[in-house]
Structure 1
Amino acid sequence: MGRSPQLRALPLPVRGPGPKSRRARPAQSRPGWSGRSDPRAHDLVTRSRRAARWLQPGLVVKRWMLTSGLGLLILLLGAAVWADLQPIYWSLEAIKWTLSQLTRVLPRSITGPLVLVIGAVLIWLGQSRSFGSIQQALAPEKDTVLVDALLAQRRLSRGPSIVAIGGGTGLSTLLSGLKRYSSNLTAIVTVADDGGSSGVLRREFGMQPPGDIRNCLAALSTEEPLLTRLFQYRFRSGSGLEGHSFGNLFLTALTAITGSLESAITASSRVLAVQGQVVPATNADVRLWAELENGERIEGESRIGKAHSPIVRLGCIPERPPALPRAIEAIANADLIVLGPGSLYTSLLPNLLVPELVTAISRSRAPRLYICNLMTQPGETDGLDVAGHLRAIEAQLATIGVERRLFDGVLAQAEPVDPALLEHYRRRGSEPVRCDSAALQRQGYDVMVAPLQGTRPTATLRHDPRSLALAVMRFYKRHRRDS
């Protein structure tokens, strides 16, 4: 027999004890229960809790409120002295008379607490209304409470200074996770891209490619999600617009207005309320070239990623591009330096072709961490394990005269990976990047393995921002404790 369609619209019964239990009684039948909470009482409780949070340490607000109160008291005393102390005498006499009248009506045991409560209520009312007005003026359409925003800002401002070097989606993934732990972030981004929308804008306007920079700005943005989505929006049709992202066009227009990509990044950072800074690795017009094992030499970042022979050597034109001073300064002041994750030859190593960056990294006393990819990349890192990635980095550094090891630690994916997803990648020529922790430790590396893909099932093998950032912060705390 079929079910009546009307039954589908009925609410599901609440599970609970039998009819004899008090919990089974309807809310309306309970004595003194109206079934509806008083919104005014709820609002009062909410305001009280918010006011109490202003007493939490670390806000750097209470000390200045007390300073203001002390200043007001001194101001009144100064005015009283100037007026031959008469106002103080009159005020004390008025208070004395008022208290004497109250104590005639009510005993001191009631008068004292009553006056204290009235004073506390007036202080609470004045402060809550004042901060509420400030909140309404600063962010009228946001749900964020001012005290929560201040607490978060203070916590993040005390975070470590982290320099993340790379490009592509790997760097933006790392940044979106790290911004939960610190606002002192610097992203040093490769500017060698010559494919897709970035390549078209680079050729037509003679500017540096904006794509990876756009991704980093969006990852570090603390603005409304809609604004970030707008920045990442890619046109799917339209003559001349198809394939371009709005953020790339925005950066191109700002570059034309301000005169440089660096100035355009600064302006975009203000628009998106970026938490940290994004710095190009160089301001030179860099073009990559690669020598392959079969003797072929190819030029262009987009062609290198499609090479069908192992890469022997990587270089760029111009040969020794200069670094930006802001990048050098950020590395010098860093508490942690991170390279990766990302494509080894097209996102990571191009940054190490800037000699001044390599010199700054080697001179830094901060711990230096290399984050390896989850999977090998066909045409770039076929057959390489974690040690192979590190050897490729060392070989590349040797071409610019750097013989010493640049990184102290390695972060790699812990097994296992979803077998079905793994088989899908194997059919495309990718394999998991294996990590022989014992061998790397014998070489002096601090090796960390962690579930960098996260615990949630996904359709692609990518780093999870939260899991990745958590592992990076554990590495930092371990080295800070040991130092």
Structure 2
Amino acid sequence: MKPRKRLSKWLSPGLGLKRWAILGGVALGLVVLGLWSMVNNQTAKQFTYDVVHFLQLNLPDLSFWQGLICVFIGIGLILYSSMQVSSRFHSTKGSSIDAYYEETILANGPKIVVIGGGTGLGVLLRGLKKYTSNITAAVTVGDDGGSSGKLREAFDVIPVGDIRNCIVALADEQDIMEKLFSYRFAKGEGLKGHSLGNLLLLGLTAVQGNFQDAVANIDQVLHISGRVLPITMEPLTLVAKMTDGKRIVGECHITDAEAAIAKLSIRPGDAEVLPEVLAAIAEADAIVLGPGSLYTSVLPNLCVKGVTEALAKARGRVFYVCNVMTQPGETTNYTATDHLQAILAHSQEGLVDYVIADDGTTSSDVALADFITGGGAHVQVDAAGIKKLGADLVTAPLVASDNPYRHASLPLAKTIMETLYNDNYFRLHRGLVKSYWDWQTYKHRKDLDT
């Protein structure tokens, strides 16, 4: 790195280093003052140099003992300043100024709450952690199928599969952790079909006594960029009222239904949102709903008591990330406006500030048919309908080049962050130091795309 660029990093506001460097300089001055006073009282007449004469004229006239006290105070402050600087570097992933600078950018990033579930939430988190470490993932707990469903039924705990995916997405060593936590046992009585991550979370819950402490312990081991919380501590059962009048109970049955969904509800109906989630929403600069299955990953969270009210009172901007493709059975023939209308019907009007949607321009070498079953199609975006519902539409190329059915992590995160950075209300409340770090992140966003 060029010396000038490195110096600019040292001088950046909010690093927490300059104050200790200044204190160290003041301490060194005290040592010099003390030593000079001690020498001046004993042998000052022997010195005739101009510099000595200058010091005699300009430094305070202290006694020998006062000088000695200054020396000890100065040495103590130098040691204290050195320890403070050293502790900051030891707390980072690397010992260089570059590593510390990068961590400071993330630590000063916006506070973002992401609400949802399924694989979509993990995709978004992988991108957002490049911009900020102040992330709270509030995850749905309505899953009743697969490994999570079996463990939920056997041990009467909230399903852990979606939570596990979010933890892996935010982990430092993401690739290694994903292989480890997602490993599924292919055989073994009682083990077949279960993922190692689910079993680990279940075991830690038994050891710690509650699920929140178990997740907190995993956070410390994996050094995740943020925190992961269940939306509620009550295992939820999803109930869908269909357009043909039938009621379907259970997530795995809802996704298999052929009729369209008219309304979603949860059991127990009085399940309350986790207090930590409420606190995170209240402090957030942005709250992101989705991406993920509309009726089984996103809307169940809005049905939890207290969530809609918290979002309505939140000072942060509310985003909805519309799915790239319609989901057969859940959102067949849905437009982006239909997705937003369902969100508002299960919460309240005017709740969403921005709708993020794919602009349909991403090319892919992968055949779309490889990812579509049962009539799924690209979600059509109708700007007029979204505007009529009170939200601003933001479109960009968001589809992964290797999978036209999914979002690409970094382009999606970049679009959300750029929209937030350009929001006047957000910028007005950030303050000078954090606005500086927003600018630094925005300036280097091309590096984050790689």
- What is the TM-score of this pair, normalised by structure 1? 0.74
Over 3 Å counting, the alpha-carbon distance change for 1:77 and 1:371 in structure 2 is same
Shift of 1:89: 5.1
CA–CA distance in structure 1, aligned partners of residues 127 and 223 of structure 2: 16
AA of the residue aligned to 1:217: I
AA of the residue aligned to 1:169: T
Shift of 1:376: 0.7
CA–CA distance in structure 2, aligned partners of residues 48 and 134 of structure 1: 24
CA–CA distance in structure 2, aligned partners of residues 206 and 371 of structure 1: 32
Shift of 1:135: 11
CA–CA distance in structure 1, aligned partners of residues 281 and 106 of structure 2: 19
Give CA-to-partner distance per residue, 1:96-141, whole Å, 9 cap, x none: 89xxxxxxxxxxxxxxxxxxxxxxxxxxxxxxxx99x9899879xx
Q: Does structure 2 retain, via aligned residues, the 8 Å contact 1:80–1:88? A: no
SS of match in other structure, 1:237:
coil
> Percent identity at matched positions?
39
CA–CA distance in structure 2, aligned partners of residues 261 and 372 of structure 1: 30
How many residue pairs were aligned?
396
Q: Does structure 2 retain, via aligned residues, the 8 Å contact 1:320–1:353? A: no
Alignment of 1:464-475 (within 5 A): 464-475=408-419
CA–CA distance in structure 2, aligned partners of residues 137 and 224 of structure 1: 22
Give CA-to-partner distance per residue, 1:147-204, whole Å, 9 cap, x none: 2220011111111111111001111111110111111111111011111111111111
SS of match in other structure, 2:212:
helix
Unpaired runs of 5+ in structure 1?
A: 1-45, 98-129
**1:10 — aligned with what?**
none
CA–CA distance in structure 2, aligned partners of residues 75 and 224 of structure 1: 49
CA–CA distance in structure 2, aligned partners of residues 208 and 309 of structure 1: 28
| Pair 1:63-2:19 in alignment | yes
- CA RMSD, Structure 1 to Structure 2 (Å): 3.3
Shift of 1:50: 10
* Segment drifting more, 86-95 vs 257-266: 86-95
Over 3 Å counting, the alpha-carbon distance change for 1:387 and 1:88 in structure 2 is farther
* Segment drifting more, 53-62 vs 164-173: 53-62
Over 3 Å counting, the alpha-carbon distance change for 1:350 and 1:89 in structure 2 is farther
AA of the residue aligned to 1:469: A
Over 3 Å counting, the alpha-carbon distance change for 1:134 and 1:304 in structure 2 is same
Shift of 1:369: 1.0
Shift of 1:337: 1.1
Q: Does structure 2 retain, via aligned residues, the 8 Å contact 1:166–1:347? A: yes
CA–CA distance in structure 2, aligned partners of residues 293 and 54 of structure 1: 59
**1:191 — aligned with what?**
141
AA of the residue aligned to 1:70: V
Q: Does structure 1 retain, via aligned residues, the 8 Å contact 2:171–2:177? A: no
CA–CA distance in structure 1, aligned partners of residues 97 and 184 of structure 2: 37
Q: Does structure 1 retain, via aligned residues, the 8 Å contact 2:107–2:132? A: yes
CA–CA distance in structure 1, aligned partners of residues 46 and 253 of structure 2: 85
Which of 374, 377, 382 is the matching residue for 1:428?
A: 374
AA of the residue aligned to 1:55: W
AA of the residue aligned to 2:27: G
CA–CA distance in structure 2, aligned partners of residues 150 and 136 of structure 1: 6
Q: Does structure 2 retain, via aligned residues, the 8 Å contact 1:135–1:145? A: no
Q: Does structure 1 retain, via aligned residues, the 8 Å contact 2:112–2:134? A: yes
| Pair 1:237-2:237 in alignment | no
**2:405 — aligned with what?**
461
AA of the residue aligned to 1:475: T
Which of 294, 301, 321 is the matching residue for 1:371?
A: 321
**1:476 — aligned with what?**
420
Q: Does structure 2 retain, via aligned residues, the 8 Å contact 1:54–1:62? A: no
CA–CA distance in structure 2, aligned partners of residues 168 and 136 of structure 1: 36
**1:112 — aligned with what?**
none
Q: Does structure 2 retain, via aligned residues, the 8 Å contact 1:228–1:272? A: no
Alignment of 1:12-23 (within 5 A): none
Larger radius of gyration: 1
Which of 426, 433, 447 is the matching residue for 2:393?
A: 447
Q: Which has the higher contact order (CA 8 A, sep 6+)?
A: 2
Over 3 Å counting, the alpha-carbon distance change for 1:423 and 1:138 in structure 2 is closer
- What is the TM-score of this pair, normalised by structure 2? 0.79
**1:30 — aligned with what?**
none
CA–CA distance in structure 1, aligned partners of residues 102 and 164 of structure 2: 25
Shift of 1:237: 3.1
**1:407 — aligned with what?**
352
| Pair 1:283-2:243 in alignment | no
Shift of 1:231: 2.5
| Pair 1:164-2:108 in alignment | no
Over 3 Å counting, the alpha-carbon distance change for 1:383 and 1:74 in structure 2 is same
| Pair 1:313-2:259 in alignment | no
CA–CA distance in structure 1, aligned partners of residues 368 and 392 of structure 2: 27
AA of the residue aligned to 2:306: E
Over 3 Å counting, the alpha-carbon distance change for 1:299 and 1:94 in structure 2 is farther
Over 3 Å counting, the alpha-carbon distance change for 1:405 and 1:87 in structure 2 is farther
